């Protein structure tokens, strides 16, 4: 069990990109957990790429420089 909540939504964090995770909601009924994984789903987070912050171009030397943020 990852966590408990009474909310209707939950955000999974800290998952590795391109890794499959099987996720299921386990309800508690009459004080006991119902461990039925038949409706579980597989989630695969997509990779997070750096965000391009600027492009500089030098006409004289036909060069360009890209700058990006490491943590978008």
What's the pLDDT tens digit per position in 20-53? 999 999 999 999 999 988 999 999 999 888 889 9
Cα four-point dihedral sign 72, 5, 9, 20: positive
Look at residue 7 and tell me whether its pLDDT is greater than 70.
yes
Position 71 scores a pLDDT of: 64
Contacts of 50 (CB under 8 A, 6+ apart): 68, 69, 70, 72
Could you list the beta-strand ranges (E) of the chain. Answer: 21-23, 28-29, 32-33, 41-43, 51-58, 63-69
The whole-model pTM stands at 0.59
Mean pLDDT, the chain, integer: 90
pLDDT of residue 66: 94
Instruction: Give the count of beta carbons closer than 10 Å to the beta carbon of residue 23.
Output: 13
């Amino acid at each position: 069990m990852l966590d408990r909540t009474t909310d209707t939504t939950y955000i999974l964090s800290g998952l590795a990109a391109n890794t499959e995770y099987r996720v299921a909601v386990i309800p508690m009924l009459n004080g006991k957990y119902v461990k039925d994984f038949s409706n579980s789903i597989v989630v695969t987070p997509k990779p997070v790429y750096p965000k391009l912050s600027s492009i500089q171009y030098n006409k004289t030397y036909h060069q360009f420089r890209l700058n990006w943020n490491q943590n978008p």
